[in-house]
Chain A
């Protein structure tokens, strides 16, 4: 479904992605782990096409998104939903307007119908009665839930999660993990998450890939990753300051 081939990205002289290769099958939940500054966010922005690669390609169902026209790209993007690290809710709009944004814009739904669907999606993520609040009135965990409701509102086939549990307390983080699993089971979506939270990675992943120095250095099921011989991966998953990864 998603295939990344020899992807390179530079920011000025900084060579961030140095040949990433990764394949995500339909219906699979892939988690990309890696340290801060390893290029995880850059990778996820290339998958959804908001950043263009300098070389290499990202194929969605075999079609290179870098070669699409603007209209084709936006049509492809409609198949995606994305949850941002800090939720990135539109702070000038009410909660339900955030959730219904894509529905009203692309689905041309009437306000009442859109609001109804928004309420239903909000119920799915466990938020009831928050429709008319403003994002500034929500806690971090609630914002993430609204962000998730917005990401699934237009029934996408692919969900992208940018550090879904960062900044949440352990219980709220686990609640978000449960939601991610629920989305996968109920909506049958393909998902790609980036995180450095190993608890979350083990829980939500079918497969885990580790990004290090701009390349994928290991992939495997959570069990394979737990029992890896790769010293770099071992250091990362055990969270040790001593090892081959220089701080």
Chain B
């Protein structure tokens, strides 16, 4: 009898402990990432500057993510037009499709989808590369050759993230809007000049650059989280796998969560 009564209490206790432990682990990880960020920023401002390496990373992150960004942005614009057209038709507001596509893409979907793609593509690559370098002692080797590994490996990736994400977002914005135009005009048969007028009439320059500010922030988060995960990898090949998964999951979460708060702050 006593057992039956105590069971729920025990379960409650266990879940509270588990929740607390997860919370402590999460805050600990967050703190470590912040310290890592500080050391990266310190190395970023101190000479010598890693221009060659940075250029290499910009190309690596940018060019390789571009095709996926193009396809994703194009189809997102297209489906957005398709869905809002059928929805808006119900209350005769089809003319607003251009506005909806432009605002959704520039303010929200452009930066967020680009961020998620880069997190999956470049973030995973950063974590895997640095993780492999850690477990094969290449990071130690850098230090024994009097080279600060944060400066040599992390700073170029961090800068590349901050430069590349807004650039890819601009491309995504353009392709997304063109995708929406294509579907609305060529598939659904709307008037092209109305589409463009509705797009430009309501789109403000702040919609675009606030979206790009978000993208900068996402780029920095992806790079620092992925590099952190890779840099502190342990446990051989399995560890590299865990670091890579962890980097993608954590950067994606960081993008989605920070997106809400950044939007609330930027688009007041």
Residues of A at the B interface (CB closer than 8 Å) are 45, 48, 50, 70, 74-75, 77-78, 80-82, 84-86, 88-91, 101-102, 105-106, 150-151, 154, 160
Contact between chains at B146 and A77 (CB < 8 Å): yes
Contact between chains at A78 and B146 (CB < 8 Å): yes
Contact between chains at A80 and B138 (CB < 8 Å): no
Contact between chains at A82 and B147 (CB < 8 Å): no
The verdict on B144 contacting chain A, using a C-beta distance below 8 Å, is yes
* Residue in B closest to A102 when the chains form the complex, CB atoms: B145
9 contacts between A and B (CB under 8 A): A48-B144, A84-B137, A86-B136, A88-B140, A89-B141, A91-B132, A102-B145, A151-B144, A154-B145
Q: How large is the interface on B (under 10, 10 to 19, 20 to 34, 35 or more residues)?
A: 10 to 19
- Point out the residues of chain A lying under 8 angstroms from B144, CB to CB: 48, 50, 77, 80-82, 151, 160
The verdict on B143 contacting chain A, using a C-beta distance below 8 Å, is yes
Contact between chains at B138 and A91 (CB < 8 Å): yes
Contact between chains at B137 and A85 (CB < 8 Å): yes
The verdict on B27 contacting chain A, using a C-beta distance below 8 Å, is no
The verdict on B148 contacting chain A, using a C-beta distance below 8 Å, is yes
When each residue 133-167 of chain B gets 1 if its CB lies under 8 Å from chain A and 0 otherwise, what string results?
10011101101111110000000000000000000
Contact between chains at A88 and B136 (CB < 8 Å): yes
Indicate whether A45 sits within 8 Å of B140 (C-beta atoms), given known contacts A74-B146, A74-B148, A101-B145.
Answer: yes
Contact between chains at B138 and A88 (CB < 8 Å): yes
Can you list the 9 inter-chain pairs with the closest CB atoms, starting with the nearest? A88-B137, A88-B141, A82-B144, A74-B146, A77-B146, A102-B145, A50-B143, A78-B146, A84-B137
CA distance A89 to B136 in the complex (A): 9
- Point out the residues of chain B lying under 8 angstroms from A74, CB to CB: 146, 148
- Give the number of residue pairs across the A-B interface with Cβ within 8 Å: 51
Known contacts A50-B143, A78-B146; 9 further A-B pairs (Cβ under 8 A):
A48-B144, A74-B146, A81-B144, A86-B137, A88-B137, A88-B138, A88-B141, A91-B132, A151-B144
CA distance A81 to B138 in the complex (A): 14
- Point out the residues of chain A lying under 8 angstroms from B141, CB to CB: 82, 84, 88-90
Contact between chains at B138 and A90 (CB < 8 Å): yes
- Point out the residues of chain A lying under 8 angstroms from B136, CB to CB: 86, 88, 91
Quote the shortest CB–CB distance from A93 to chain B (angstroms).
10
CA distance A90 to B138 in the complex (A): 6
CA distance A75 to B148 in the complex (A): 12
- Point out the residues of chain A lying under 8 angstroms from B133, CB to CB: 90
Interface centre among B132, B137, B147 (most CB of A within 10 A): B137
Contact between chains at A105 and B147 (CB < 8 Å): yes
Interface centre among B138, B140, B144 (most CB of A within 10 A): B144
CA distance A154 to B141 in the complex (A): 14
Contact between chains at B146 and A106 (CB < 8 Å): yes
- Point out the residues of chain B lying under 8 angstroms from A82, CB to CB: 141, 144
* Residue in A closest to B42 when the chains form the complex, CB atoms: A70
CA distance A105 to B148 in the complex (A): 12
CA distance A74 to B145 in the complex (A): 8
* Residue in A closest to B137 when the chains form the complex, CB atoms: A88
Quote the shortest CB–CB distance from A114 to chain B (angstroms).
13
Quote the shortest CB–CB distance from B25 to chain A (angstroms).
16
Interface centre among B133, B137, B138, B145 (most CB of A within 10 A): B145
Quote the shortest CB–CB distance from B56 to chain A (angstroms).
10
CA distance A81 to B146 in the complex (A): 10
CA distance A77 to B144 in the complex (A): 6
- Point out the residues of chain A lying under 8 angstroms from B137, CB to CB: 84-86, 88
Quote the shortest CB–CB distance from A88 to chain B (angstroms).
4
Contact between chains at A105 and B140 (CB < 8 Å): no
* Residue in A closest to B140 when the chains form the complex, CB atoms: A50
CA distance A219 to B141 in the complex (A): 29
Quote the shortest CB–CB distance from B113 to chain A (angstroms).
30
Quote the shortest CB–CB distance from A22 to chain B (angstroms).
19
CA distance A151 to B133 in the complex (A): 18
Quote the shortest CB–CB distance from B237 to chain A (angstroms).
13
Quote the shortest CB–CB distance from A98 to chain B (angstroms).
9
- Point out the residues of chain A lying under 8 angstroms from B138, CB to CB: 88-91
Contact between chains at A102 and B146 (CB < 8 Å): yes
Interface centre among A48, A78, A82, A85 (most CB of B within 10 A): A82
- Point out the residues of chain B lying under 8 angstroms from A89, CB to CB: 138, 141
When each residue 103-146 of chain B gets 1 if its CB lies under 8 Å from chain A and 0 otherwise, what string results?
00000000000000000000000000000110011101101111
